[in-house]
A and B are shown apart, each in its own frame.
Chain A
Amino acid sequence: MPGSTRVSGGIELPQGRALRVAAALLLALCMLALFAPLLSPHAPEAIDWSRLAAAPGAADAHWWGTDRLGRDVFARTMQGLRISMLIGFVAALVSVAIGLLWGAIAGYAGGRTDAVMMRIVDVLYALPYVFLVIILATLFERGSIPVLLIAIASVGWLTTARIVRGQTLALRQREFVTAACAMGVPTARILWRHILPNVAGPVIAYATLTVPQMILYESFLSFLGLGVQEPLASLGSLVSDGARDMETAPWLLLAPAGCLVVLTLLLNILGDGLRDVLDPRTRA
């Protein structure tokens, strides 16, 4: 049966169902994060002096409780979700764009250009990115979102560059590239129209897997206190705050941590699914 994979148990598993479910849930989560301010009567930074560290389900529409300053956990978590997603998607986009360009040029040029470009990648790989972020954070405003994006994207593109370079190197040897060259198609156009479409599949799949990675990077930085600063929140900074009151007010940890797990899980399922669908080798 086309479009389905036969599993050893004999069950027909429609290919891409997990993909569609994950995509739908992800969309729902995005909508929830975006429209949360309309759902909840509380602003993320509003302080409710009458209810400090209230448990979830408390009155006054504090569905997920409040923190020690009386701020609504639902509103804060949704804000964190928005910021984490923003950073994740933008950083993934930027790093995939840089990686694509870098890898394609290195792979197509070959020879010395390739060697120099890939050694730069190796050197950047070897640099612990936390140091990089600390340097950036001290040089610039700590916790500013653009600086965070630069820091995260500056390491994120390395793997994409390697993947694309490997693919381009293989494609360059293919006859259709020689044929395009033989027809007088200029190099830039060969790269853009003949090579990139062929690396798009693996790159799109990898990009989807990059988003959760970026979100985790950001969370890690925020957890260390290098990321997003109060009163803004990201999932990472919320987890970091929540961890301090783990024993007395576990909902402060569980709400952002749960969101983080669900978000990264969905993105990973999506990425895996896309890889299966887009990889020509798994296609019938």
Chain B
Amino acid sequence: MSSIPAPALELRDLAVRFAARGGPLVAVAGVSLRIAPGECVGIIGESGAGKSQALLAPFRLTASDAQVGGMARLAGEDLLAKSEAELDRVRGARAGFVFQDPMSSLTPHRTVGEQIIEVLECHGRAHGAAARTRTLELLEQVRIDDAARRLSRYPHELSGGQRQRVAIAIAIACDPPLLIADEPTTALDVTVQAGILELLAALKRERHMAMALVSHDFGVIARLADRILVMYAGRVVEEGTAAALVAAPRHPYTAALLECLPRLDDPPGAPWQAIPGQPPDPRALPAGCAFHPRCPRAAERCRVRQPQLDGGVACHLPVSA
């Protein structure tokens, strides 16, 4: 059921550049991706790999000096050709967004209720008493108990988990067919994290919502995603179904990421696994494969020629299954 007519979101060769001192900074260098209705795609990679940029730039939610190239379609409609006013009608209504830190993504001086109602009103979904009723329903759907009382609370009066639930309520207020969650659990502690992931899974199930989940945590992605994209230095280096990718990673970077996960059956005091070296500076990417300086399998051609995504992996010497 992966490619029925119009995917919820389709990116083709999406590139995001910033004009920076010392040459253009390439944050995303040609990412292609397709999210079918009801499908959850996870995007994983280290900080600076371009995961958030790839998903936020088509909606013009990154720095205003970003130059976005390639193609981005939301349910078949070209996003890059839209004016700011047209995008205002898309954002929130046809694509909802959840950000990393709910403390900073909610406006501190306004109550939770006002912030949810605002979205409903901005998109003409409900006004006045109807908006209030709808807001209560939304808070119940994101499983905030005592919703009526929370309505008049300010963000700082809620716990981290409740704040993120409010942020999710705002994101789904207008029933968007697509939800983009940018590190939605990173700022939360582990138990709260589990609750939020469960909520997202339930929303996806109940509303048949397409979802793009950005994270640097394999644990988070693996629980929710149907398919996973692994990004490194602005490119997709591996792509596959969640089960296959976790069970048998083919790109050495994916394999290394999976090895970094601490396991409960590791002997106490076992050394932490880390990928040696640092992610490359996007202004000075190494020639050939961007991962080669850190790759244990790197050979001569890896230093020279950029591998293309082929059969789900962009590597000259993939790990064989």
Which A residues lie within 8 Å of B105 (CB)?
Answer: 175-176, 178-179
Report the contact-size class of chain A (Cβ under 8 Å from the partner).
20 to 34
Are A197 and B109 in contact, with the CB atoms below 8 A? yes
Known: A183-B119, A183-B170. A176 touches B92 (CB 8 A): no
Task: Check if A189 is an interface residue, CB within 8 A of chain B.
Answer: yes
Shortest C-beta distance, B56 to chain A (Å), equals: 8
Shortest C-beta distance, B191 to chain A (Å), equals: 24
Are B91 and A178 in contact, with the CB atoms below 8 A? no
Which A residues lie within 8 Å of B101 (CB)?
Answer: 175
Which B residues lie within 8 Å of A183 (CB)?
Answer: 91-92, 96-97, 118-119, 122, 170-171, 173
Q: Among B59, B84, B118, which residue has its beta carbon within 8 angstroms of that of A185?
A: B118
Q: Among B90, B122, B167, which residue has its beta carbon within 8 angstroms of that of A189?
A: B122
Shortest C-beta distance, B260 to chain A (Å), equals: 27
A-B contact count (CB 8 A): 74
Q: Among A174, A176, A184, which residue has its beta carbon within 8 angstroms of that of B119?
A: A184
Are B99 and A178 in contact, with the CB atoms below 8 A? yes
Which B residues lie within 8 Å of A197 (CB)?
Answer: 107, 109-110
- Closest residue to B116 on the A side, CB-wise? A183
Tally of contact residues, B, Cβ under 8 A: 32
Task: Check if B106 is an interface residue, CB within 8 A of chain A.
Answer: yes
Shortest C-beta distance, B26 to chain A (Å), equals: 22
Which A residues lie within 8 Å of B109 (CB)?
Answer: 197-198
Task: Check if A110 is an interface residue, CB within 8 A of chain B.
Answer: yes
User: How far, in whole Å, are A263 and B129 apart by their CA atoms in the complex?
Assistant: 47
User: How far, in whole Å, are A70 and B205 apart by their CA atoms in the complex?
Assistant: 90
Q: Which of A176, A185, A189, A194 has the most CB of B within 10 A?
A: A176
Within 8 A of B (CB), among A154-188: 174-176, 178-187
Are B88 and A179 in contact, with the CB atoms below 8 A? no
Are A182 and B107 in contact, with the CB atoms below 8 A? no
User: How far, in whole Å, are A179 and B110 apart by their CA atoms in the complex?
Assistant: 14
Task: Check if A6 is an interface residue, CB within 8 A of chain B.
Answer: no
User: How far, in whole Å, are A180 and B110 apart by their CA atoms in the complex?
Assistant: 12
Which B residues lie within 8 Å of A182 (CB)?
Answer: 59, 61, 91-92, 97, 99
Task: Check if B108 is an interface residue, CB within 8 A of chain A.
Answer: yes
User: How far, in whole Å, are A120 and B135 apart by their CA atoms in the complex?
Assistant: 45
Known: A174-B104, A176-B105, A179-B99. A193 touches B89 (CB 8 A): no
The 3 A-B pairs at the shortest CB distance, nearest first, are namely A184-B92, A183-B92, A182-B97
What are 19 of the A-B contact pairs (CB < 8 Å)?
A111-B64, A175-B105, A176-B104, A178-B105, A179-B97, A179-B105, A179-B106, A179-B167, A182-B61, A182-B91, A183-B92, A183-B122, A184-B123, A185-B118, A186-B88, A187-B84, A193-B107, A197-B107, A197-B110
Apart from A175-B100, A182-B99, A187-B84, what 18 extra A-B contacts exist at CB < 8 Å?
Answer: A111-B64, A175-B105, A176-B107, A176-B108, A178-B105, A179-B99, A179-B105, A182-B92, A183-B173, A184-B87, A184-B92, A184-B119, A185-B88, A185-B92, A185-B122, A186-B88, A194-B110, A198-B109
